[in-house]
Amino acid sequence: MSFFQKTDGSGVLLLAPGDNIAVAACDLPAGTVREIAGQRVVLERAVEVGHKFAIRRIAKGERVIKYGAPIGVATQDIAPGEYVHLHNVTSDYIPTYTFDAGHEFLKEAH
Amino acid sequence: MVIDAYLRTDGRKGIRNTVAVCYLVECAHHVSREITYPYREKGAHLIGFPGCFPNAYSHKMLERLCTHPNVGAVLLVSLGCEAFNKGRLLETIRESGRPVKLLVIQETGGTRKSIAEGQAWVAQTIEQLKNTPRAPMPIEELIVGTICGGSDATSGLTANPAMGRAFDFLVERNATCIFEETGELIGMEHWMARRAENPALGEEIVKTVAKAATYYATYGHASIGPGNADGGLTTIEEKSLGAYAKSGQSTIRGIVKPGDVPVAGGLYLLDVVPDGEPRFGFPNISDNAEIAELIACGSHVILFSTGRGSVVGSALAPVIKVCANPATYKRMSEDMDVDAGRILEGRATLDEVGREIYELVLRVAGGEQTKSEALGHQEFILTYKRFEPLGPACFPSAA
């Protein structure tokens, strides 16, 4: 794995050549247009620094690839420019705990 | 560059000259805190173990911490009736050549008398430690641990790989570097195994991460929380990818468990997840539990990356905080030693920040205070765990 040395001023980071997501290097507003890996991508919503979005279509069941490594599986089809996070990706190992979603810990506490 | 260190009678060298005040059960915590408080800016640090029941792990941890090269003297504070084997710990510290005193609250006559007697000893010992012999310490004798806390999606982009670069610079000079958090390396086990010095060690690395995954699955919660998710981390694999970047690019020479001090320079993985059937709860209840374990493995100084903005330091070893997120740095710069978010802003390269961290490690080893030290942070936590001894494949092939 090799890490990026510096940003190119585009506000977008493509971390490894085969990745199907890119990362915001700064807060990007909805409608931001970028050409990434030969594809024109339009952000469907605002993306905060460090958060990620699809740069090509990711089918339900396909792995999301960041820095060349799988970071989880798509739970629904994801379009280019779509925000990628808990609502459309899940872990291959242990699900991520959040305050909502009626997690069993909260049920135990009440 | 050579560090002006404190020479201990066992030949090890420390970069701080601390008086550790150590409670041996929660019942002695208040007295210990009161003893420490007036001297906290003069080198007295509070550590301890809250449990009343005996535990091999916590005993080993306190042995290693009380004889850590950054520690010059130890005051043990016992209630009197707890099960901790205070006589054995006292003997281990005495054998290390350090000034040590055991204060038993039930024998001294209660809270007020124990605080007075403890403070008198600490005051006198701080004076005595001013005469500690100094010795030059080459970089290869330095042990540096790394951890991330309050991570967000910028941690794995800036601070963690920059600390990895600092690790590479240190390992090139034959220093010892330790990374850990196998629960936050889930998904990276095969990448790590390829960096092992030999295939047997690679297999051990894979097993170590599998153990962590089982442990966390049993408790129904990976080492990723709502704050991580708000910061853009979606899954434990993604968090792991960022956490893994702290290890740099060097060959992995071995695995250690809490309290094992690496015998030769190079990069080591610290396995913090207990062995056997899951018990005693989550493997690491908060960041300082892991920091205490890194220190028990001999770490003189800790590199701590944060994206959301952690403020912690530690007892016994200075903590250098590397801030990953530019917005967090703007809000919390008083707590941060390094602004790694500059990489995202295009104001610095990864190598430049890595070099800056490396140079800061050497300055801090030479006595420069970190932000958390200057702010008086001395967090410490130690709870129950259980470990089995390391297998032969975990050690480096050549000492």
3-state secondary structure of B64: helix
pLDDT for the residue numbered B181: 86
Nearest CA in chain B to A14: B157
Q: Do A92 and B216 touch (CB under 8 A)?
A: no
A97 to B222: CB separation less than 8 angstroms, yes or no: yes
* B272 pLDDT more than 90: yes
Percent of chain B with pLDDT over 70: 99
Q: What is the ipTM of this complex?
A: 0.92
Q: In what order do the strands lie in the sheet with B71-78?
A: B44-48, B18-23, B71-78, B100-104
Q: Nearest CA to CA, how far is B61 from chain A (Å)?
A: 30
Instruction: Report pLDDT for A105.
Output: 58
Q: How confident is the model at residue B384 (pLDDT cuts 50, 70, 90)?
A: very high
Task: Kindly state whether B250 is in contact with chain A, defined as any CB-CB distance less than 8 angstroms.
Answer: no
Q: Which residues of chain B make contact with A84, given a CB cutoff of 8 A?
A: 234
* C-beta atoms of A70 and B187 within 8 A: yes
Asked whether the predicted pLDDT for residue B398 surpasses 60, the reply is no
**Residue B265: strand pairing partners:** none
Q: Give the per-residue pLDDT at B134.
A: 97
The pLDDT value recorded for residue B221 is 77
State yes or no: pLDDT of A50 exceeds 50: yes
Task: Looking at the complex, report in whole angstroms how far the Cα of residue B328 sits from the nearest Cα belonging to chain A.
Answer: 11
Residue with the larger pLDDT of the pair B322 and B185: B322
Mutation to test the B interface, candidates A13, A97, A98, most B Cβ within 10 Å: A97
Of A23, A71, A86, the CB nearest to B157: A23
- Distance, in Å, from the CA atom of B399 to the CA atom of B103, rounded to the nearest integer, reads 40
* pLDDT attached to residue A4: 81
Q: What does pLDDT average to over chain B?
A: 95
* Segment B313-325 mean pLDDT: 98
Write out pLDDT tens, residues B281-300.
888 889 999 999 999 999 99
Task: Indicate the pLDDT class of residue B399, thresholds 50, 70 and 90.
Answer: very low
Chain B contacts of A49, Cβ < 8 Å? 153-154, 232, 325-327, 344
| Secondary structure class of A13 (helix, strand, coil) | strand
For CA atoms B302, B213, B276, B221, give the dihedral sign: positive
> Which residues in chain A are contacts of B354 at CB distance < 8 A?
none
DSSP string, B288-341: HHHHHHHHHTT-SEEEEEESS------SSS-EEEEE--HHHHHHHGGG-SEEGG
CB-CB contact of B229 with B307 (8 Å) = no
On the question of pLDDT at A1 being above 80, the answer is no
Total residues belonging to chain A:
110
Task: Judge whether B350 is closer than 8 Å to chain A, CB to CB.
Answer: yes
pLDDT surpassing 70 at residue A103: no
Tell me what the mean pLDDT of segment B94-123 comes to: 98
Q: Residue B394 has what pLDDT?
A: 85
Question: B229 vs A96: CB contact, 8 Å cut-off?
Answer: yes
